[in-house]
A and B are shown apart, each in its own frame.
Chain A
């Protein structure tokens, strides 16, 4: 009798769960047969990610490897010279090393500084102005921009379809069926979305595996006191908001940031708060790369802010910093460099 009840309960429970899974609208997407699941690990202390692989794009070794190949493949660009990796270089934490603006097709420049790529699964919107609302469709922007990869989506898909190797890889990752833009985008997402940087000294300190030096500790305290941490919020070092930090408009680029997306005057010159993870590797800084060094950025907060009613109240009256304070802040920021991330072979160019 008792045994029966237990079986009954277990059965109903299992049924219920099965139904929940089967019926759930947001749903869980099944990975293709024969693929090997990859775990997406949420680092200790991180919030839940915004992008949920399990819901629409089950992370698999095959999907990830395909995305990696695509990321490093110049054939995704019109003339073959501009793979994603030409602007997003691993040793620069996937920013463009030493370039204020990046180069694209036909000797043209991008209008913005290529941001570092990491922890993208936590980002509610992408690009400096937040114009892209889902990581899956992000690659369409550089692929089709005439000053970046300058390609047409159909042409790219056509090139991939003609390539026997890609046909095999797409089948391995997504099962039988034609190569299409959705599969390409999901594969790229598996690769870039897996780039998690959470093993810097800062993280080790948080996990109790390392200790800040006195200078780093002082810098960390200043990072809070000077309100940096409100916008550059831990542990992702951004709160993903759009802020006007009093950078004067660059008259040749005429980039009004968030206002291009919302059409709202109050969003003029607002840009997404960039994460400061790996900031030591990602110079130059700012949405147009106008700051060559971290020192330059700190000088901006200290005495460069162009005050106006539009500027964020946290920085409007400037954040005065002494030379010493700058030194400490820089010491702290250097603890955000994740050498394991930039050396991680699984993110580097496939052989």
Chain B
């Protein structure tokens, strides 16, 4: 009898510990399922107008250029609610936004029903993942966002051409990466959702938050990037850090739409 009780005790303990463990894993992976869907869509723009690929844009310094590729990684997404709680998206989720491929520009989340007043996320891939060996999904090196000779992720990429570029075929190519201090380009972006109007979510609805990504932001503030002088940049370092500083300011939360 006593023996039986002991065994039961063991079982209960084991179950409890496993549960605790599960829970740990859950909050860590953040797969806490809410009951409404929030889509965050990244729209490529040039100073407020939709970006047309291969059409000519003009940057802050008056330099004409076209865009062929515009990609970046989004990770570590947090939604802060008005009640002070924070919905943390699974830290193992990495999203590769390819602005030329509509199917990749939306991140779909299912947070709990709250009223959220702020979205924040990182642009890029944290340093731990940069040294963790072969990855899949968004981080698959086959996505062309990985440097093989100085291993690490290209956190954001802008390619196109400009008559002012002295590079072959007038190319412009900015591959921005680097995860080792002091050249870690991972940047955190905080977007208050006040500009998009009401942010309280009704249960069971789908909400789409549009966030614009302004290509022209790459070229100025705080650092003036002149195509004529630097048409190509593909290594970690000071310049990459400055360009990352620029593009970390490229996002604006523009609209929130609700579909019942």
Q: Which residues on A are within 8 Å of B, measured CB to CB?
A: 1, 3-5, 7-8, 11-12, 14-16, 18-19, 22-23, 25, 56-57, 127, 131-137, 140-141, 143-145, 153-154, 157, 180-182, 185-186, 189, 260-261, 263
Contacts and interface: CB of A to CB of B under 8 A. Distances in A.
Interface stretch (B66-74, B132-140, B251-259): B132-140
B17 A15 contact: yes
B201 interface: no
Contacts of B237: 263
Interface of B: 2-3, 6-7, 9-10, 13-14, 17-18, 20-21, 24-25, 28, 130-136, 140-142, 146, 148-152, 183, 235-238
B140 A15 contact: no
B134 A182 contact: yes
Contact of A137 (B2, B6, B14, B148): B148
Query: Interface SS of chain A: helix, strand, loop or mixed?
Result: helix
Contact of A4 (B2, B21, B24, B28): B2
Given A8-B9, A136-B133, A181 B142 contact: yes
A182 B236 CA distance: 24
B146 A140 contact: yes
B14 A11 contact: yes
Closest 9 CB pairs of A and B: A136-B133, A11-B10, A185-B134, A153-B142, A140-B148, A4-B6, A136-B134, A15-B14, A134-B133
Contacts of B135: 182
A265 B152 CA distance: 21
Contacts of B2: 1, 4
A261 B134 contact: no
Nearest to B6: A4
Given A180-B140, A181-B142, A263-B235, A134 B18 contact: no
21 contacts: A4-B6, A12-B13, A15-B14, A19-B17, A56-B132, A131-B150, A132-B148, A133-B151, A134-B151, A140-B141, A140-B148, A143-B148, A154-B142, A157-B142, A180-B142, A182-B140, A185-B133, A186-B134, A189-B134, A263-B183, A263-B236
A7 B141 contact: no
